[in-house]
Amino acid sequence: MSDEKHTNRLAHETSPYLLQHAHNPVDWYPWGKEALEVSRAQGKPIFLSIGYSACHWCHVMERESFENPATAQVMNELFINVKVDREERPDLDQIYMTATQLITQHGGWPMSVWLTPDLKPFYAGTYFPPEPRHGMPAFVTICRYLSDAWMNRRQEVLEAADDVTRRVDLQNQVTAGSDMPTTSMIKESARELERYFDRRYGGLGTAPKFPHSTELRLLLRAAARTKDHDYRSLVELTLDHMIRGGIYDQLGGGFHRYSVDAHWLVPHFEKMLYDNALIPLACHEAAQATEDPALRQSFSNAVEETLNYVLREMTSPEGPFYSTQDADSEGEEGKFFVWSRAEVIGELGEDLGSTFCYAYDVSEGGNWEHSNILHLAKPMDQTAKLLGITEEDLSRRLKVGREKLFEVRSKRIAPGRDEKVLTSWNGMMIDTLAVVDGGRRGPYAQAAINAANFLLNKMRTPEGKLYRTYKDGRSRLNGYLEDYSYLANGLVSLYEATFDRRWIDEALAVVGVMIDEFWDEEDGGFFYTGKTHEELIARGKDPHDGAIPSGNSMAATALARLTKLTGREDLFEKTDRTLRLFSGVMKQSPMAAAQMMIALSIHQGPTREIVLVGDPHSNDVQDGLAILRNRFIPDKVVALRRPGVSEEEIGSIALLAGKKESGSGLTTYICENFTCQEPLQGAQALGNVLDDAL
């Protein structure tokens, strides 16, 4: 067990993950100058352990090894031990995960990497057990073996480290494509994605299954461009099974990180802020695109329930959003979320309880480790028919049951919450809240405004540079490319929800610093770390989407949208060069470049530049915004000019220039490349034109 009397250097950190290890008997250092200097001075290798607070196996390895005094003694004797929160330092995570994958052909967390004093990796793995198990050596055995190699076969180790470092650097480079990519890549990518789809349960590949939200959004765009509704049906199939599955929290809303099985039943129970921004965005677009009223309602419900969960459980009183919730509570994975049949019947009574258990697959034996993960095993219409009641009656009963069980569950010991604030993930959530609000200026828009104000006021230096993280009153660490690009994109969406010009001005300010810090003038595209960042063994450009889109793909997205609104040639040129640089990645790895293709779609168009002229609070303008909100128009930007606003007051939003009211009420201009059709009068005219065009 950890000794609360023993405190290591992690006690001075703000990361909840690092603080969890502050009382380990391991003499942990945070990443920084002190650890690196001690390693060089003592000639000891570095043991680098990277994880995050919601990681189940990170907790397991801590309990088994890092809390064990005998294991800690070996570690302290042989290595300089450094603990890193991957969410705080994604630059280190990227570099050393690449090394881990090169060395072992797989990756994951906890990540365990052994480095020379000059930070070059010579061995790596993920979780190691305390004793030999399932073909894995014991952690202490590995430690002693690697120390012996360092002491007695130093030259061999150094050569291996040099080789891995060279290959890591190569992996981080992007070779520019020879041609400018075209939107035909979107169709080609959709065909490639289609090959990997599970046509029974939805999703890409087999177990384990991740949401792949951005790929789903790309398929919706391919469907809109090609009129091939099969692409849309794959999205509908996936989201329907996810929303009915155990990966979705049926009582409280929100999505768990991924499913360990192929049919979305058993999740890894941690909840990540980024998933609960990206998946609702895909659901929102699917609700706009589908022609099935029941699916539209289901997708819309999931969006609302998930965003309400974020506002209820993942929002700081100061305004920004927290990072994660753990999988474990009371030392057990999933304990907070699962039920026995006796519990359900005891709380709901026999009549309602039996109906609830039938609908949500709750049995005596359980559907997971003798407990039950709530999920809708069948669609609602089928369940209602089998129970001999109407779908409306079933829906009403289940709603009552969910509300009662949610109240019961709220009295349980909740999973831990990582309350650090990350700029990039907050930018993502601002984007989703603003898009879903769509001009209503409701609670979602207000939450986005609160978070944006916090980031701009508390997580930015006087010179305009962004910090990566905030906790306990401290903003820390240099922002990365993703922090700038996600925030800039979120601010553009916030403008389109509020039509407050301030947000475009702020987006342009963030983009200006992003270009100054990260832009590669020689080859185009953006480096992941800024020019004033500490020097590491590699400086790459983050070419591939992972669990979240890459920094470059989101930079291209934000720049493309700003170009359409402002008409700035310098932003157009940066977008163009970034897309050209990544054309090879888009062609060769479509599953890792979905967001870049979304940016390409906006950049090359056809993109509808929609200008509304009128009072945003008027019924006519609100009706027009509802029309835009309820239709799937993926490649668009929206601006609004209030009556009486002068040409000087429109500022940087060049798209508004010359747009005037034509009569009373709403006037709408639909433009492309700043060339506009005849103005439309009233919301109905806008709806008619869009229906004809779509």
Domain identity same for 237 and 319: yes
Say whether pLDDT at 349 is over 90: yes
Identity of the amino acid at 387: L
Q: Are residues 165 and 226 in the same domain?
A: no
Band (pLDDT 50/70/90 cuts) for residue 591 is confident
pLDDT at residue 1, as a whole number: 43
Instruction: Over range 626-631, report the average pLDDT.
Output: 96
Range of the domain at 307: 185-418
pLDDT tens column, 631-653: 999 999 999 999 989 998 999 99
Task: Specify whether 204 is located in the same domain as 141.
Answer: no
**Within a domain: 148:** yes
pLDDT for the residue numbered 171: 84
The answer to whether 225 and 186 are in contact (CB under 8 A) is yes
- Pair (40, 152) in one structural domain: yes
Token pair of 165 as six digits = 């470092």
pLDDT tops 60 at residue 495: yes
Same domain, 264 and 406: yes
**Of the candidates 368, 398, 418, which is a domain's last residue?**
418
The verdict on 115 and 226 lying in the same domain is no
Determine phi and psi for 471, rounding to 5 degrees. Answer: -165, 145
* Domain co-membership, 91 together with 207: no
Domain membership flag for residue 108 = yes
E strand or H helix at 639: strand 636-641
Q: How confident is the model at residue 662 (pLDDT cuts 50, 70, 90)?
A: confident
| pLDDT at residue 3, as a whole number | 53
d(CA 72, CA 78) in angstroms, rounded, equals 10
Confidence of residue 5 (pLDDT cuts 50, 70, 90): low
Rounded-to-10 torsion of CA 574, 549, 99, 476: 80
Reply yes or no on whether the pLDDT at 604 is more than 90: yes
215 and 106 within one domain: no
Helix, strand, or coil here: 417?
Answer: strand
Among residues 318, 310, 420, the alpha carbon closest in space to that of 86 is found at 420
Query: In the chain, pLDDT over 70 holds for what percent of residues?
Result: 99
663: domain CATH number is 3.40.30.10
Tell me if 457 is assigned to some domain.
no
The residue whose two tokens read 């996810």 is: 242
Count other Cβ atoms within 10 Å, centred on residue 449: 21
In a domain, 319, yes or no: yes
Number of other residues whose CB lies within 10 A of the CB of residue 105: 7
Whether 528 and 94 have beta carbons less than 8 Å apart is answered as yes
Under 8 Å CB-to-CB from 319, ≥6 apart: which residues? 447, 450, 451, 453, 454
For residue 621, give the nearest of 644, 600, 596, 639 by alpha carbon: 639
In this predicted structure, the answer to whether residue 625 has a pLDDT above a threshold of 90 is yes
Average pLDDT over the chain reads 95
What's the pLDDT at 223?
97
- Domain assignment present for 560: no
Ordered alpha helix ranges (H), 153-212 = 154-171, 184-195
**251 belongs to a structural domain:** yes
pLDDT in tens, 529-571: 999 999 999 999 988 899 999 999 999 999 999 999 999 999 9
In this structure, what token pair is assigned to residue 227? 């009129």
* pLDDT score, position 177: 66
β-pairing verdict for 417-418 and 332-333 = unpaired
Domain membership of residue 484 (yes or no) is no
3-state secondary structure at position 524: coil
Q: How many domains does the chain have?
A: 3
- The residue with greater pLDDT, 668 or 179, is 668
User: Does residue 306 share a domain with residue 343?
Assistant: yes
Residue 640, pLDDT score: 97
* pLDDT score for 692: 84
243 and 162 fall within a common domain: no
- The CA distance from 433 to 430, in Å, is 5
Give the end of a domain, one of 171, 195, 225: 171
Listed residues 382, 397, 418: the one ending a domain: 418
pLDDT at residue 666 above 60? Answer: yes
pLDDT in tens, 301-340: 999 999 999 999 999 999 999 999 999 899 899 999 999 9
| Segment 45-101, tens digit of pLDDT | 999 999 998 888 999 999 999 999 999 999 999 999 999 999 999 999 999 999 999
Phi/psi of residue 640, each to 5°?
-135, 135
Domain presence at residue 456: no
Q: Do 58 and 154 sit in the same domain of this protein?
A: yes
| pLDDT for position 79 | 98
What is the rounded CA–CA span in Å between residue 99 and residue 104? 9
| CA–CA distance, 376 with 40 (Å, rounded to integer) | 57
Tokens of 565: 């609104």
- Shared-domain flag, residues 39 and 128: yes
What percentage of the chain carries pLDDT values higher than 90? 91
pLDDT in tens, 226-264: 999 999 999 999 999 999 999 999 999 999 999 999 999
- Residue 468, pLDDT > 70, answer yes
Tell me: the pLDDT tens digits for 369-378? Answer: 999 999 999 9
